[in-house]
Structure 1
Amino acid sequence: MARPLRIAVITVLGFLLSTLVDLAFNTESELGLDTLFRIRGPQTTPEQVVIVAMDEASETRLGVGQDLTRWREFHAKLLDQLHHQGAGLIVFDLQFIAANPSVDPTLANAMRAAGKVLINECVQKFRRGVEDFYGREECSDHNKMPAISREGEPATTLSEQLVVMRKLAPTPAIAQAALDRAPFYLINDSENASIRESWTFYDALAEAPSLPVLAWFYYQPASSDYPVNQPLSAWLTEQRRACANASKPDKPSKQLICAGDSRYLNYYGPPRTLRMESYADVYEGKVEDLQGKVIFVGRANRQFSPGKSDFFQTPYSDSRTGKMAGVEIMATQFANLLEDNFIEIPVAGWLISCLLGLLIALLLVGFPGWPGIVLSLLFTLAYAGSAVSLFAQRHWWLPLAGPLLMQLPLSWLLSLAWSRYDLMLERGRILEFVSRVFPQWVGILPAAPGQWTEAGIAGTEKDVSGLCLATDIEGYTSIAAEHSPREMWALLNTYYQVLGRPVVSHDGVIADVTGDAMMAVWFDAPANKQRHAACLAALEMATAVESFNSSSNLAPLATRIGLHEGELTLGSLDAGTSSHYRAIGDTVNIASRIQGVNKYLGTRILASHSIAAHLDGIVSRPVGTFRVVGRAEPLSLVEIVGVKHSSDNPQNPMHAVFADGLAVFQEGLWPEAAHLFQAALALDANDGPSRFYLQKTLHYSEMPPLAWNGIVVLESK
């Protein structure tokens, strides 16, 4: 597939995935925006905003409980205290719907005397008549009346899309005494949705302004545009309706009136971040420094109580902070208006996602494989850092969840899939080349592409530092004598397929197959990685051979395996008119000798000490030092036992006893060694090394060697 097409596919698929997931799960808000808030942390709050909290302490001290109408007898004195201290504006997040004739006149007089009191209008939202009802505080069940009349049979079901919103006016005495009033609607907290944006105007309520917007206009210095013969709320509604025919607004106030009907709230922190004073303390005159402040009075618990109503999720909400009171959200919107620092979306999110996806695709296609993945990761992290910085400094909200969680991983998957596809094409070209130049190698080429290319198929030889694995079939000559050549061919053909799969799956290369022996090599990789891969391959080969033997109708092929590492030469040997690739060197011969030691010890997998003695994840045990036929230098060998499944894997008790016996054996303490080897066999009667050394010990007890150095000399292969 051409590069431009790949770039287009990665860009489009990444964008579509992030968009669809966001539409289905609202990920940019639930994860992106909330994460930006939490990373940024709390912000400095404007000193002009103060919340007077009708909290638990005030409920107890004033003896009012949770009945909001009982608080009214204290509101008059509260207003007197605030007016006396010179509060700039007083905003009640209370609706005053139910009349209380005994105290309403006193409260109305206090409101008139203060002359700067705004109150909240109740907003009720109905869906499908009265089947779904939403409202805050005093917009309670006793005010839930049918918003529309149903026509037809009583059982008629109204449409799910039928939505009605209405306002309930405060009691007349208080409504007339207040400076002005406006609604402030929040969704019902039982829906458990986070409040991330708030209305500035309610177009569904005849373009009515929200209470924080109304408070902001009253708090600003008087403008010549403001009316003198009607409430500001009515004038704002008129201005809002006239926006359709007005020119582009040039003043902040006009922009606020004519812009969209909602803004994203820039929360200053978790609940109780804004200055909050207890209602009872203000009522009793214990709070000072209220001169010129905008006071928001409403229900706000100082301690989180999940059973309370009128509390809402915000981006900072968690089990520790709890939810935020409605009056705090109202004060937050007013503070945002005051400082003009709402959360803004500077560029359409879809456009940023497209550009980001395009740049990621260019990096992945331009730098195939891991370089492209690393570069795209660094680029995306740089973008994420910029998004966090711009959110903290300029309150800009850029997409975060989609690029990091959807676009980038999907782009990686597509890039890796194409890389694998390209490798398979390359393997096809290699196979075609090998079939023409080295036809004898076609049947045993490794399944993983590219492994022999580094060995130099196109060249003649290569010196490497590698690891060799040698196998041999025990008693092969006797088995071959009992079967026809055709039967042996069929048996060995299946056997070498079984034996070769673990080598290929662990990145090894089959270097030679001759009769009953196979040679595999690992090279051009870190030493520990080669050792670990070869040990795992050997263990899997032993298990695979056991399964093969149990399912075969012919004689079992008991396989011995030896491992050694050192210098190798990989190259082509010319014989007549043919060329054969082989692994050549003393390392190959030693690996073959090591596998032969299995015959003496009754083991299946032996390796030179350097391969597995300190290899994490592999269980091994030393089995002694040997001088094999044809080599003057002794070999310290270990048995590869299995895979270590956990760091606290207990040691095999028999292995511990054997190790003690081996130590005293090498010191020439024959009686003690014999006792320990007998103890090891008592724990495991089938342990070949213990049986071998017990026989040696008994022999040396009768005929001690003339010069003992702890090395066992083997006289034959």
Structure 2
Amino acid sequence: MKKRLAFVVFGLIAALLTFAAYRQAPQALQQLDYRMKDARFRVRGPIKPDKDVVVVAIDHASIKEIGRWPWSREVTGRLIQNLASYGVKVTALDIVFSEPQNPAADAALASSIAKAGNVVMGYFFREEEQSADPAAIAQMERATVKLMRVAEGVQSIPLTEYANLDVNLPQLGAGALDFGFFNARPDGDGLYRRSILLLLYNGDIYPSLAMKALRHYLNSDIMLEVKSYGIDGLQIGSLRIPSREDGTMSLNYYGPAHSFRTVSAADVLKKRLKPDELKGAIAFVGATEIGIYDIRPTPFDATQPGVELHATVAANALERRFLKYDGITQMQEMLCILLLPILLGIVLAFVPGTFAGLAAFIGTAGLFSLINYLAFTQGLRDMTVIYPMLGIGLTYLGSESWRNLVVEKKGRQLKKAFSNYVSPDLVREIEKNPDKLVLGGEQREISILFSDIRGFTTVSESLTPPELVTLLNEYLSPMTRIVLEERGTLDKFIGDAVMAIFNAPLDVPGHAEHACAAAVRMLEELKRLNEGFAERGMHTLDIGVGINTGPAVVGNMGADIRFDYTAIGDSVNLASRLEGLNKYYGSHILVSEDTRNQVPDGRFIFREVDRVRVKGKHLPIVMYELMITNLELLPHFEEGLEKYRAKQFVTAQQIFNRLVADYSDGPSRLYSNRCAEYLETPPPADWDGVYTAKSK
């Protein structure tokens, strides 16, 4: 429990460290957070914006057809009038006309703006000193926010303030519907992720071009809501636009450049559009031609036209598709930062090892990624990505360092010693709980397998020591592998014999079935080995296997300076006897009745070969052969065995002799000889068909 508690403590420490970083928001982490947030847009992919938000593009085709930019103001005026004739509700110009061109051109543009009656003109604030016409400054009085709802105790509003602005000629602005600034500010890495909604100038608050376009599109004044921490939001009629405290709004981009319904300015000027194509639209007029350099790199596109940022604000507002960063979003962030590392620490405390810990780490990180992505796409919440991930990562690194340097150190040392002859399950158990390797044991039901090479003494006498070692290694290596693959534990080698146990030290469901499967695979593998031995002129081998299932004492037994994990008891002795009886019956795999009863019907083919009453036991032992060849003789053998136990020894002997002749069947040969003995010396009248062994 103390070891597990350490993992939870690592999670708690990671959560507190990450929360401190979250509150400090260092620049390096913020930049990384921006990048990870950008990935959400690319995973989500482009989506369709509101069809009533239109970009009128001063694009490459327009410049090629109309001429290089800037155009004569008569041309721009005609563009504005044509948009009005198409039924555009609001025309927002991402352009400023701060310098005169010539009297005729300026008058033509001023007339077009006044006649259209739907133009929101653009301007921008400057840091550097800029002289401005007092008449133009006076016109800007229309652009300020007139309605504010300010919380009690507010002394100042945390908006960026500018000392200078670049405005339109007063002659042009006289007929404008309104004015809105088009200043934009990138993040530290140069990407534009937020739009500035409000700025301060000379003590007044000014809304952006997009806000002013929306104000007239919805035909309602802007109401500014100010709380103690800063800007809370803007209200335009029934539409509430959320804002960060500094008067900015996160942009929920729709896609790369040209994601909006875009019409070429040349098509408007030449009146090539359908009459109702722009009816009721809010049109943002601006340059999209790269050569004009009004480019704003965004998470979707490094060359996104600046005019599309205004269109994004308007479409976000009309569709209520705002990326919210409010008190609820911040609460969700803090819960993820504090809870996920602790949750991972709890999980790591109970997983068995490094790979499981890695899976838990990936799972927790994946869970947060899914929560974050769904909050982004479904809840439209602009949650942080980096800080919860940082807490999860610190928890994993700290916990796994603790696991490897402290918890698993002893386990790795023991694994090295045991991994060559103990099942993988036991190795993992040793790694997890090395203190279990002490003297002592427990009683549990197991399946015991013994295998032995027939006539090995004769084989060994004909081989040199190096040849004998080579032969044994080539035989024992695959046999050991089979035992381990069937979830068994290699108990020991006894010369050429193999002893394996199943269902110890860990539970192995279906352990009797696994033991039988190992025996069958051993015989199949031996056939393959013998083919290779024969090709090399070496001795071929034959083996017998005995399997029994029953209670035994298992554990680490021996002396303080040397002990082995093994099993002892009558069940083990019976398995050894069954292996030896293969020579007597002429079989290869003999199993006890207890083993047979625990193997699902149909999994293997068994035949009962004998019922033997051994010395010291009153109840007979029933033995079965696990058959892998000559399966077709089974019904004939069962018929012969039935006649034998019914004392019809003549008929039984005839059946067994036929099976010997046709199949060289070992058990049939034994029963043929018994029939001959009983025909000569009949059994007693109360004979029950059980063979009484004359010795152990």
Tell me the TM-score normalized by structure 1: 0.52
Question: CA separation in 2, counterparts of 1:4 and 1:248?
Answer: 40
Q: CA 1:501/1:249 → structure 2, altered by over 3 Å: closer, same or farther?
A: closer
Question: CA separation in 2, counterparts of 1:99 and 1:591?
Answer: 110
Q: Does 1:357 align with 2:337?
A: no
* 1:347, distance to aligned residue in structure 2 (A): 0.9
Contact 1:472–1:518 (8 Å) recurs in 2: no
Encode CA deviations 1:482-530: one digit per residue, 9 max, x unaligned: 999xxx99x999x999997996798532223323323223434356995
Q: Does 1:295 align with 2:283?
A: yes
Contact 2:194–2:249 (8 Å) recurs in 1: yes
Question: CA separation in 1, counterparts of 2:31 and 2:122?
Answer: 31
Residue in structure 1 matched with residue 572 of structure 2 by the alignment:
584
Q: Secondary structure at the match of 1:69?
A: coil
Q: Does 1:182 align with 2:167?
A: no
Match of 2:194 among 192, 197, 205: 197
Encode CA deviations 1:390-434: one digit per residue, 9 max, x unaligned: 44554223345765798279649937974997688799999xxxx
Contact 2:483–2:489 (8 Å) recurs in 1: yes
Residue in structure 2 matched with residue 8 of structure 1 by the alignment:
9
* 1:64, distance to aligned residue in structure 2 (A): 1.9
Contact 1:468–1:521 (8 Å) recurs in 2: yes
Residue in structure 1 matched with residue 381 of structure 2 by the alignment:
396
Residue in structure 2 matched with residue 49 of structure 1 by the alignment:
53
Gaps of 5+ in 1: 127-164, 227-238, 431-440, 546-555, 601-607, 616-624, 639-661, 664-704
Match of 1:519 among 491, 499, 509: 499
Give the letter for the 2:115 counterpart. A
Q: Secondary structure at the match of 1:68?
A: coil
Give the letter for the 1:35 counterpart. R
Match of 2:427 among 448, 462, 475: 448
Contact 2:257–2:304 (8 Å) recurs in 1: yes
Q: Does 1:265 align with 2:251?
A: yes
Give the letter for the 2:56 counterpart. V
507-516 or 333-342: bigger deviation? 333-342
Give the letter for the 2:182 counterpart. P
Contact 1:51–1:275 (8 Å) recurs in 2: yes
Q: CA 1:105/1:502 → structure 2, altered by over 3 Å: closer, same or farther?
A: farther
* 1:331, distance to aligned residue in structure 2 (A): 1.0
Question: CA separation in 2, counterparts of 1:205 and 1:503?
Answer: 87
Contact 1:121–1:182 (8 Å) recurs in 2: yes
Q: Residues 317-336 of structure 1 correspond to what in structure 2 (within 5 A)?
A: 324-336=304-316
Q: CA 1:391/1:592 → structure 2, altered by over 3 Å: closer, same or farther?
A: farther
Residue in structure 2 matched with residue 107 of structure 1 by the alignment:
109
Contact 1:54–1:297 (8 Å) recurs in 2: yes
Encode CA deviations 1:67-97: one digit per residue, 9 max, x unaligned: 4335865432221133345644321234568
Q: Secondary structure at the match of 1:12?
A: helix
Q: Does 1:462 align with 2:450?
A: no
Contact 1:52–1:298 (8 Å) recurs in 2: yes
Give the letter for the 1:398 counterpart. M
Question: CA separation in 1, counterparts of 2:572 and 2:120?
Answer: 95
Question: CA separation in 2, counterparts of 1:103 and 1:22?
Answer: 49
Residue in structure 1 matched with residue 40 of structure 2 by the alignment:
35
Match of 1:211 among 209, 212, 224: 209
Question: CA separation in 2, counterparts of 1:352 and 1:388?
Answer: 16
Question: CA separation in 2, counterparts of 1:505 and 1:417?
Answer: 31
* 1:276, distance to aligned residue in structure 2 (A): 4.2
Contact 1:473–1:558 (8 Å) recurs in 2: no
Give the letter for the 1:510 counterpart. L
* 1:296, distance to aligned residue in structure 2 (A): 0.7
Percent of aligned positions that are identical? 16
Q: Residues 130-209 of structure 1 correspond to what in structure 2 (within 5 A)?
A: 180=179, 182-185=181-184, 195-200=192-197
Gaps of 5+ in 2: 129-162, 236-240, 530-537, 589-595, 613-621, 632-656, 670-696
Question: CA separation in 2, counterparts of 1:378 and 1:120?
Answer: 50
Give the letter for the 1:364 counterpart. V
Contact 1:11–1:357 (8 Å) recurs in 2: no
Q: How many residues align?
A: 552
Encode CA deviations 1:455-481: one digit per residue, 9 max, x unaligned: 9996664334x5847465995677689
Q: CA 1:405/1:257 → structure 2, altered by over 3 Å: closer, same or farther?
A: closer
Q: CA 1:502/1:531 → structure 2, altered by over 3 Å: closer, same or farther?
A: closer
Contact 2:186–2:193 (8 Å) recurs in 1: no
Q: Secondary structure at the match of 2:330?
A: coil
Contact 1:212–1:334 (8 Å) recurs in 2: yes
Give the letter for the 2:53 counterpart. V
Residue in structure 2 matched with residue 643 of structure 1 by the alignment:
none
Contact 1:108–1:177 (8 Å) recurs in 2: yes
Q: Residues 340-351 of structure 1 correspond to what in structure 2 (within 5 A)?
A: 341-344=322-325, 346-347=329-330, 351=334
* 1:261, distance to aligned residue in structure 2 (A): 5.0
Question: CA separation in 1, counterparts of 2:377 and 2:194?
Answer: 18
Q: Which has the larger radius of gyration?
A: 2
Q: CA 1:71/1:330 → structure 2, altered by over 3 Å: closer, same or farther?
A: farther
Q: CA 1:350/1:596 → structure 2, altered by over 3 Å: closer, same or farther?
A: farther
Q: CA 1:512/1:216 → structure 2, altered by over 3 Å: closer, same or farther?
A: same
* 1:362, distance to aligned residue in structure 2 (A): 5.9
What value does the CA root-mean-square deviation take over the aligned residues? 7.4
Tell me the TM-score normalized by structure 2: 0.53
Contact 1:281–1:287 (8 Å) recurs in 2: no
